[in-house]
Structure 1
Amino acid sequence: MKFFVISDNSDTYMGMRLAGMEGTVVHQYDETVAALKTAMEDPDIAVVLMTQKLVSLCQDLVYQYKQQSKTTLIVEIPDRHGSSHLEENLARYIKDAIGVKI
């Protein structure tokens, strides 16, 4: 099982490449959706790492994949320009998945 990084920043991408992960750098909505779809369809990819900016570009699609995928985990990672909204996203995910608001 492999990790795959989808980044909007070449520095973040390069750091992940140095850690042995494959991935891609994208900037537009269409590129992001295509890269995510390709990664989610690859049976060898177990974890997809996406920068916060890209998750915000296609938040509904990412959320849909998170709820429906049984084999691939999508993890939102901060980049050097990102701010953290991870708590809000996690609370929303938990509320929708098990019906408990935290």
Structure 2
Amino acid sequence: MKMFLISDNVDTLTGMRLAGVEGEIAHGHKEAKEAVEKILEDKDLGILLITEKLSSEIPELVDDIKLNRKRPLLVEIPDRHGSGRNPNFITNYINEAIGIKI
């Protein structure tokens, strides 16, 4: 199985290539959707990495992959600018899920 990255950022792609992960750059909804649909045709794909910013461009496709496919495992990663999430997002998530303040 192989791993593939779809990024909106050249620096993230370069870093992942140094780690042996191939990928491509996409910008905007149309390019992101085309890139994801193209790589999903690869039966050897085990893990699809996508930057958080780019995944926010195609939430319907990301949700479809996560909910309706066994493979590939889709992992949203932050880019060099960091995560778009609140710094306390894990604590807030736990508070919402179980109602206990940590």
Q: What TM-score do you get using the length of structure 2 for normalisation?
A: 0.80
Counterpart position of 2:73: 73
Alignment RMSD:
1.8
Counterpart position of 2:84: 83
- Write out per-residue CA displacement over residues 38-86 of structure 1, whole angstroms, 9 at most, x where no aligned residue: 122211110000001100000111001111111211100001223226x
Structure 2: unaligned runs, 5 residues or longer = 98-102
Q: In 2, are the aligned partners of 1:48 and 1:74 still within 8 Å (CA)? A: yes
Instruction: Give the distance between the partners of 1:51 and 1:40, measured in 2 at CA.
Output: 16
Name the SS for the 2:80 alignment partner.
coil
Q: In 2, are the aligned partners of 1:78 and 1:84 still within 8 Å (CA)? A: no
Counterpart position of 1:56: 56
Amino acid at match of 1:84: R
Name the SS for the 2:56 alignment partner.
helix
Larger radius of gyration: 2
Counterpart position of 2:10: 10
Instruction: Give the distance between the partners of 1:20 and 1:61, measured in 2 at CA.
Output: 26
Between Structure 1 and Structure 2, the one with more helix by share is 1
Instruction: Give the distance between the partners of 1:23 and 1:70, measured in 2 at CA.
Output: 21
Identity %: 44
Give structure 1 regions of 4+ aligned residues with deviation exceeding 3 angstroms: none
Amino acid at match of 2:85: S
Instruction: Give the distance between the partners of 1:71 and 1:57, measured in 2 at CA.
Output: 21
Amino acid at match of 2:3: F
